[in-house]
Amino acid sequence: MTLKKRTPILLAVIILLPVLLLAWFGVRHQQNQQQLLEHQFSNLIEHRLQTVDQLLQDHFLALQRRLIPDARTLQQQRDGTYSPEPLRQYIKQSPWLSQLFVLTPQGERQFPPSNQQSNRLEQAFVERTKALFATPELFNSPELDPINQPIKRTGQRSQLQSSSAATDQYEDSVLSSTLYSGQLSQQAQPERLESPTQKTDILADNPHGWIAWYADTGLQHIFWWRDDLDNVIGFVLNGPRLVSDLLNRLPEGDSQSSSLGRAEIRLINDRDEVVYAWGEYRPQANSQPQRVLPLSHPIGSWRLAYYAPALQAGDSGWMSLVSWLILLTSGLSALAWLLYREHNREIRNAEQRVNFVNQVSHELKTPLTNVRLYAEMLEQHLPTEEEDPVPQRYLRVIASESQRLSRLIENVLSFSRIKRGGLKISPKQDQIDRCIEQIIENFTPALNDHNLQIRFDGNANEIRLFDCQALEQILNNLISNCEKYAADGRFIDISSWQEAQSSYIRIRDYGPGIAPGESEAIFTPFYRISNKLTDGVSGTGIGLGLARDLARAQDGDLMLETLTDTAADHPLSGASFLLQINTPEDAIPRGDLP
């Protein structure tokens, strides 16, 4: 692929690479932002639901603070014994209780009394809860009371650290009425608890706890307390009143719409019934909640469900990313277009210069051919060198320089043809050695002027199929380099041989040589080694590269060999090139070669 064809691809890569990298980083950033937003939204939902759970737990905590002093007062009044009538009066006067029971330390039921002494309601209660009375270990495990223990949820306060203001407000508005008349009513009212420490002191009383008990009529909530004599007093809450009081703690309808936003929170009981809902959002019938939070004990079978529209990705971030990508792509495209236009202009100028050189070279070939022709004709009419050596010496200079000029012109034209892809090899039947001998004969006068001698060892006499002109051009470039740079070596060794379908030619000089690091660079077009040897020596830098291209065009190669020894009479290492070309065997006998 030529440079002109590669340039648009390179410019496209220059444009696309930063754009794709920026797009990738932008998408990753937007995804991270989306995940962060979803995480924050999830935390917000969790916090809202836990806040509602805390409100409901505050109600049980307030009830607990009222029922423990009442239970202690009942114990003090009866001096450790519990008569049915005061207990029944207490149940009758309390709007929060539906029943009460007392168990002895042995687990026997003291109240409600036996069937003969109990009324119909008490008998029905005993019948519903007889399994509860048969399980006295439920009242010996304070750890079953998670209300008085820290809630192990991230970010939520313990039950004892709940808002005292909300609890006190509830106590004032809901539980401030007289529990029952008489001395118990006055003594049962505890003083206002102003600090969490005081509240903790009251709660850190005798063993107590909450039980959620399923009976025939549904879920019953029971608060039990063990007195100083190890009797258990159980307070059975009034279910409808409990639900009403719990709902009173929740926001009213759309009163929290501004803070809740487009969302709805539903309170669902143990029968999967929606007890209460608030918020301005109305989900569809089959919508799934975004978050479900089971409530804390003693209403652990209830749950809160949070409904809200699906979180939408912010369009502004994506629009900003797309805008930046469009601006970057436009800017890079404009810059690439300017570079491509300048590049094409430079290529056109270079092509014009190359075409000019090619045309000039073609124009020079004709007069140069005439010069060489007339020089050869003149040689026949001039006196011999013995008669008059001066004209013959001048004539040799003319012939030598014209041959050198011909080689330069042929190199330029061949190099141009290679770059255009128009180089053609025309193999013919010939002998490698005869072609080499002709080349040596042409170079002999010029080499003699530089005190150089060619030593040729030819072993490639078989008739093969190859392009003699291409081989001549290859050897011309190699010998010409020896003439320029290795004149002090005195000798140029040329050897040839043939193996199978290939012919080999080695050319070695005894000049300064070429550094190993330059073994491949010297074949690069227009590359010249910069040292004292080449400084001041004219050259185009295309000879070796052209020679390798011509060798490879004949299914061969040209390489610089590594010399491991030097001749005894030549201390300089020199340079050795090995030429290999494909020369198929020819069926014509050697005698038929013209």
Strand-by-strand arrangement of the 208-215 sheet: 109-111, 97-103, 232-237, 218-226, 208-215
Three-state DSSP class for 430? strand
Express each pLDDT in 259-289 by its tens digit: 566 888 999 998 888 999 988 888 888 888 9
Of 270, 141, 161, residue with least CA distance to 210? 141
Q: Above 50 in pLDDT, residue 257?
A: no
- On the question of pLDDT at 1 being above 60, the answer is no
Find the range with the poorest average confidence among 312-316, 327-331, 394-398, 547-551: 312-316
Percentage of residues of the chain with pLDDT beyond 70: 73
- The confidence score (pLDDT) of residue 421 equals 67
Contact 522, 495 (CB under 8 A): no
**Contact assessment for residue 509 and residue 572, using Cβ atoms and an 8 Å cutoff:** no
Residue 588 has pLDDT above 60, yes or no: no
Average pLDDT value for residue range 347-365: 67
Sign for the pseudo-dihedral over CA of 480, 483, 489, 491: positive
Query: Quick check: 37 pLDDT over 60?
Result: yes
Range in 78-82, 166-170, 250-254, 534-538 the model is least confident about? 166-170
- pLDDT value of position 79: 64
pLDDT mean over 501-520:
88
The DSSP result for 206-234, as a single string, is: SSEEEEEEEETTEEEEEEEEE-TTS-EEE
Q: What are phi and psi of 435, to 5 degrees?
A: -65, -40
What per-residue confidence (pLDDT) applies to 572? Answer: 52
Confidence of residue 385 (pLDDT cuts 50, 70, 90): low
Mean of the pLDDT values across residues 499-518? 88
For residue 89, what are the contacts with CB-CB under 8 A and spacing of at least 6?
Answer: 180
Task: State pLDDT tens for residues 438-461.
Answer: 889 888 888 887 888 999 999 999
- Measure the CA–CA gap between 536 and 539, rounded to whole angstroms: 9
Q: Are 464 and 432 in contact (CB under 8 A)?
A: yes
Residue 15 has pLDDT above 60, yes or no: yes
Show the tokens assigned to 144: 């079953």
> Cα separations (Å) of 594 from 443, 463, 545, 558?
23, 11, 33, 29
Phi first, then psi: give them for residue 170, nearest 5 degrees: -65, -40
- Using the predicted structure, report yes or no on whether residue 32 has a pLDDT greater than 90: no
Range of lowest pLDDT (116-120, 147-151, 177-181, 330-334): 177-181
Residue 201: is its pLDDT beyond 70? no
pLDDT in tens, 402-444: 776 777 777 677 767 666 666 778 888 999 999 999 889 888 8
What angle separates helix 468-485 from helix 432-449, to the nearest 10 degrees?
30
CB 579 within 8 A of CB 505: yes
In this predicted model, what pLDDT tens digit does every residue of 215-233 receive, in sequence order?
A: 766 788 999 999 888 889 9
Burial label for 506, CB within 10 Å (0-12, 13-18, 19+), is: middle
pLDDT value of residue 141: 59
Picking from 21-35, 42-56, 452-466, 505-519, which range would have the lowest pLDDT averaged per residue?
21-35
Per DSSP, the chain holds a count of helices (H) and strands (E) of 14, 16
Q: Which of 103-117, 329-343, 367-381, 482-496 has the lowest mean pLDDT?
A: 367-381
Q: What is the pLDDT confidence band of residue 295, given thresholds at 50, 70 and 90?
A: very high
Q: Check residue 538 and give its pLDDT.
A: 60
Least confident of 36-50, 244-258, 483-497: 244-258
pLDDT at 578 over 90: yes
Helix axes 543-553, 468-485, angle to 10 degrees: 150
pLDDT at 592: 40
Paired strand residues for 307: 264
pLDDT of residue 458: 92
Mean pLDDT of the chain: 76
**Which phi and psi angles does 540 have, rounded to 5°?**
-95, -20
Q: What percent of the chain has pLDDT over 90?
A: 18
User: Would the pLDDT of 172 be above 50?
Assistant: no
Residue 159's pLDDT is: 32
Q: Which tops the pLDDT comparison, 132 or 534?
A: 132
Averaged over 97-120, what is the pLDDT? 85
Could you give the C-alpha distances from 469 to 40, 68, 435, 497, 550, in angstroms and in order? Answer: 82, 120, 9, 19, 10
pLDDT value, residue 362: 58
For residue 532, the model assigns a pLDDT of 53
The more confidently predicted of residues 357 and 563 is: 563
- pLDDT of 256: 46
Largest CA distance in the chain: 170
